[in-house]
Amino acid sequence: SRANVNFFFGGTGLLIVVGVALDTLQQVESHLMMRHYDGFMKKGKIRGRSM
């Protein structure tokens, strides 16, 4: 299935799809990191000792 999709779009389409996917993943990762960091700052004093 995946090979057929790659063949259909060709090299340029594949590069665009991969680029968009990587950009989306980066945005999601940075968003999750920010949320995790905020939670860590709020509970940092409690978690700091248990770690």
Q: DSSP readout, 1-51? A: -HHHHHHHHHHHHHHHHHHHHHHHHHHHHHHHHHHHHHHHHHSHHHHHHH-
CA-CA-CA-CA dihedral for 10, 16, 21, 27, to nearest 10: 180
pTM of this prediction exceeds 0.75? no
Give the model confidence (pLDDT) of 7-48 as tens digits: 665 778 888 889 999 999 999 999 888 887 777 677 655 555
